[in-house]
């Protein structure tokens, strides 16, 4: 009988490729403190079907509140669907946390299905919130919480970022971790977190939207290693995927962790979600060999563009030249470097897109271990510098409601200022860009999907190299297959990059 219900919504088009969904770590981390005092049930809409029956059963226990972790874009549609459903069944308090409520708290609270929002780190706020709500005390004064009181939105003070070293081990027991053990390059891994935030001020990044929430902070070396070893033991896996925003901002800490992993008899493998180009360039060949010996199998890097003008405009901490240098430096080591890309930035032209595509192929040529994200379409985050630019200078009309936000995603154009040709190009190049590299070879895919991507790869490369974005027949075929599978009795498992 749970005291608290926490819900992770469906992610939408970002759920692709991996054999299992990623761990709902935002909820697990947020529950680190409150789980020591209350019984908690986590419902993951990506794997719980039909979720309505689960919700009905959980609501019957009269929980203190229901909480959801929500990112901007398509997850909002899923989160709204379940929140509105709950409101038809119960008067339980609903609180949203995560990326979008932090960036746009007033808009989030404008929807009748949301009663309060947690802004920034949720661990301490959620515990204080549960304590006061369970005793029917006023929510005024809870730092990091905004809530509705009649027709008024009560805006409590912001809360300082949590001291990560003060937190207990995350309560993985709240989920069945077997549902989230992913396979990469033939090895199984589970997600963990050892640091948060970033020091850079990229103009599109949600980290820059609210000063004070997203500066870099981390677990110390000892606690980082404790969490890595603990996660592998508890989940019975061979390795971990660090979902850190920018792991090597503290290089000394990162190398200490790598060296400890090198000597550990368990031979743990690891991946890092976030690394920047300047950090890549900060390693010597000796240190890269140490990272390889530590069984680091992948890093992810925000390359974003091959256009010098675009990189300057968004204030990336690297240039085209340093990106090429970093990629060459890391080539020759058995470490996949996964580069992410964005198109549709204000001021970009077809020529800028062409430069990005040329950079994609150059990185693959220079480094056989280079891997590429698809060419994601730019989605402005509320409160960022580019948000104000597209609103004030380029005619972008922000979504008027949470429902409108649910229509936004990375696979199609979301902004109005692009020329018709640019919109057509970006909408149709997304699918081809997904398949031009060898990343599908690294995942545990159904055989039919594996061979389909290999067969399509030469055609996808032809499309991208020539920017031939007309007649995207394969895009519609893939959409038809997806619709057919979604109507089957057992829909395909969600995957994630």
Start-end of CATH 3.80.30.20 domains in the chain:
181-486
Superfamily of domain 181-486: tm_1862 like domain (3.80.30.20)
* pLDDT in the model for residue 490: 43
Separation of CA 109 from chain center: 23
The pTM of this model reads: 0.92
pLDDT for the residue numbered 212: 60
Q: Could you read off the pLDDT tens digit of each residue along the chain, which spans 497 residues?
A: 789 999 999 987 555 456 688 999 999 999 999 999 999 999 999 887 789 999 999 999 999 999 999 999 889 999 999 999 999 999 999 999 999 999 999 999 999 999 999 999 999 999 999 999 999 999 999 999 999 999 899 999 999 999 999 999 999 999 999 999 999 999 999 999 999 999 999 999 988 886 566 789 999 999 999 999 999 999 999 999 999 999 999 999 999 999 999 999 999 999 999 999 999 999 999 999 999 999 999 999 999 999 999 999 999 999 999 999 999 999 999 999 999 999 999 999 999 999 999 999 999 999 999 999 999 999 999 999 999 999 999 989 888 889 999 888 888 888 989 999 999 999 999 999 999 999 999 988 888 888 988 999 999 999 999 999 888 888 777 766 666 555 543 444 433 44
Q: Is the peptide bond between 50 and the residue preceding it cis, with omega within 30 degrees of 0?
A: yes
pLDDT at 3: 95
Q: What are phi and psi for residue 42, nearest 5 degrees? A: -105, 125
Place of tokens 């949600």: 206
pLDDT of residue 491: 42
* pLDDT, tens digit (0-9, with 9 covering 90-100), for 350-382: 999 999 999 999 999 999 999 999 999 999 999
pLDDT for residue 484: 58
List where CATH 3.40.50.280 sits in the chain: 4-155
Three-state secondary-structure class, residue 436: coil
Q: CB–CB of 410/379 below 8 Å?
A: yes
**Rounded-to-integer distance, Cα 146 and Cα 125, Å:** 11
Assign domain 4-155 to its CATH superfamily.
Cobalamin-binding domain (3.40.50.280)
C-alpha torsion 83→86→88→90, nearest 10: -130
Helix H or strand E segment including 184: strand 182-184
């Amino acid at each position: 009988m749970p005291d608290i219900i926490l819900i992770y919504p469906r992610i939408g088009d970002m759920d692709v490729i991996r054999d299992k969904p990623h761990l709902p770590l935002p909820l697990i981390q947020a529950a680190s403190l409150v789980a020591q005092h209350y019984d908690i049930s986590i419902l993951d809409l990506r794997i719980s079907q039909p979720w309505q029956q689960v919700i009905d059963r959980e609501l019957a226990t009269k929980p203190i509140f229901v909480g959801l972790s929500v990112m901007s874009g398509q997850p909002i549609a899923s989160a709204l669907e379940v929140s509105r459903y709950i409101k038809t069944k119960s008067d339980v308090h609903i609180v949203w946390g995560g990326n979008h409520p932090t960036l746009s708290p007033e808009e989030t609270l404008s929807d009748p299905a949301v009663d309060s929002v947690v802004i920034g780190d949720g661990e301490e706020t959620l515990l204080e919130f549960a304590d006061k709500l369970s005793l029917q005390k006023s929510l005024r004064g809870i730092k990091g919480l905004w809530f509705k009181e009649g027709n008024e939105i009560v805006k409590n003070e912001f809360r300082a970022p949590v001291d990560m070293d003060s937190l207990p081990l995350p309560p993985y027991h709240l989920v069945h971790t077997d549902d989230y053990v992913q396979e990469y390059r033939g090895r199984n891994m589970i997600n963990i977190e050892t640091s948060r935030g970033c020091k850079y001020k990229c103009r599109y990044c949600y980290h820059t939207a609210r000063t004070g929430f997203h500066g870099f902070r981390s677990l110390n070396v000892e606690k980082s290693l404790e969490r890595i070893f603990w996660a592998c033991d508890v989940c019975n896996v061979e390795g971990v995927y660090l979902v850190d925003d920018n792991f090597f901002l503290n290089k000394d800490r990162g190398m200490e962790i790598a060296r400890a992993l090198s000597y550990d008899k368990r031979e743990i493998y690891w991946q890092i979600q976030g690394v920047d180009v300047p950090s890549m360039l900060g390693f010597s060949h000796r240190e890269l060999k140490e990272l390889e010996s530590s069984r680091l199998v992948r890093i992810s890097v925000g390359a974003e563009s091959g256009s010098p003008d675009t990189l300057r405009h968004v204030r990336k901490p690297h240039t085209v030249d340093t990106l090429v240098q970093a990629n060459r430096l890391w080539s020759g080591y058995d470490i996949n470097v996964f580069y992410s890309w964005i198109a549709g930035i204000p001021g970009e032209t077809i020529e800028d897109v062409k430069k990005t595509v040329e950079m994609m192929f150059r990185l693959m040529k220079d480094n056989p271990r280079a891997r590429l994200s698809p060419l994601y379409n730019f989605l402005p985050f509320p409160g960022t510098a580019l948000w104000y630019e597209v609103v004030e200078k380029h005619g972008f009309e922000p979504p008027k409601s949470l429902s409108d936000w649910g229509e936004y995603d990375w696979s199609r154009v979301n902004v109005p200022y692009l020329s018709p040709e640019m919109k057509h190009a970006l909408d149709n190049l997304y699918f081809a860009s997904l398949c031009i590299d060898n990343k599908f070879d690294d995942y545990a895919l159904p055989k039919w999907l594996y061979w389909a991507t290999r067969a399509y790869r030469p055609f996808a490369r032809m499309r991208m190299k020539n920017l031939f974005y007309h007649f995207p027949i394969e895009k519609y075929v893939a959409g038809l297959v997806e619709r057919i599978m979604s109507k089957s009795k057992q829909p395909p498992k969600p995957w994630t990059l």
